């Protein structure tokens, strides 16, 4: 039998058959979706309040970023920016800051030892509470 001039492999045939529904669906969407102008009119009718709200928020963000670019131009905006930078807290807390008036003094040593004792007490309380909870759990299992 002579070799045919046109051969279709099984992989190509499977791929072509799988693409046929996709092509039909793309044609259907192209014919039945509204044009950009119709879509924009529909959005304006149904979602005009959301669009206006979004525009207002955009203007607020523009003012906010202008305040970041030009510090000192608006005191209230500067206060809001500092609040955002602190994560909503009123003031920043430095955990490892050195207090110059206590550093190297006897009063500083007293404050440090008191803080260490308090931390040790808190640690022991947590440990006791955990052990008590574990013991209560063992008693209930028995």
pLDDT score recorded for residue 91: 64
Helix axes 75-85, 36-69, angle to 10 degrees: 100
d(CA 132, CA 120): 18
pLDDT score recorded for residue 72: 73
d(CA 51, CA 84): 26
pLDDT score recorded for residue 134: 85
Q: Domain boundaries in the chain?
A: 98-142
d(CA 47, CA 99): 57
pLDDT in tens, the chain (142 residues): 677 788 888 999 999 999 999 999 999 999 998 888 998 999 889 988 888 899 889 988 888 788 778 777 778 877 877 777 777 666 666 666 667 777 778 888 888 899 999 999 999 999 999 888 888 877 776 6
| This prediction's pTM | 0.32
pLDDT score recorded for residue 71: 73
d(CA 123, CA 106): 26
pLDDT score recorded for residue 94: 62
Furthest CA-CA distance within the chain: 108
Backbone angles phi, psi at 118, to 5 degrees: -65, -40
Q: Are 17 and 11 in contact (CB under 8 A)?
A: no
pLDDT score recorded for residue 92: 60
DSSP state of 67: H
DSSP state of 89: -
């Amino acid at each position: 039998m002579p070799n045919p001039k046109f051969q279709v492999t099984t992989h190509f045939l499977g791929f072509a058959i799988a693409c046929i529904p996709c092509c039909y669906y793309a044609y259907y969407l192209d014919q039945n979706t509204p044009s950009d102008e119709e879509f924009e009119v529909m959005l304006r009718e149904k979602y005009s309040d959301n669009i206006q709200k979004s525009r207002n928020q955009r203007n607020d963000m523009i003012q906010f970023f202008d305040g970041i670019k030009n510090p000192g131009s608006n005191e209230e905006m500067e206060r809001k920016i500092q609040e955002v930078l602190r994560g909503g807290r009123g003031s920043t807390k430095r955990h490892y800051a050195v207090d110059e008036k206590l550093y190297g003094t006897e009063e500083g040593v007293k404050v440090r030892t008191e803080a260490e004792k308090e931390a040790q007490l808190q640690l022991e309380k947590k440990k006791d509470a955990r052990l008590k909870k574990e013991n209560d759990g063992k008693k209930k299992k028995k």
